[in-house]
Amino acid sequence: MVLIQHGIDIVGPASTVDEAMELAQTGRPEVAILDVNLHGEMIFPVADFLVGRGVPVILTTGYSARDILPLRLLDLPSIRKPYEPTELMELVERAFACVGDELADCP
pLDDT at 105 over 80: no
Question: Total domain count for the chain?
Answer: 1
Count the Cβ atoms, other than its own, within 10 Å of residue 104. 12
Give the residue numbers spanning the domain of 21.
2-98
Three-class secondary structure of residue 66 per DSSP: helix
Q: Calculate the average pLDDT of the chain.
A: 91
In a domain, 24, yes or no: yes
In a domain, 107, yes or no: no
In a domain, 55, yes or no: yes
Count of helices and strands (H, E) across the chain: 5, 5
Strand partners, 34: 59
pLDDT at 103 over 60: no
In a domain, 21, yes or no: yes
Task: Give exposure, 67-99, as e/b (b: 16+ Cβ within 10 Å).
Answer: ebbeeebeebbbbeeeeeeeebeebbebbeebe
Q: What is the pLDDT of residue 1?
A: 87
In a domain, 104, yes or no: no
In a domain, 88, yes or no: yes
The CATH number covering residue 85 comes to 3.40.50.2300
Strand partners, 59: 34, 78
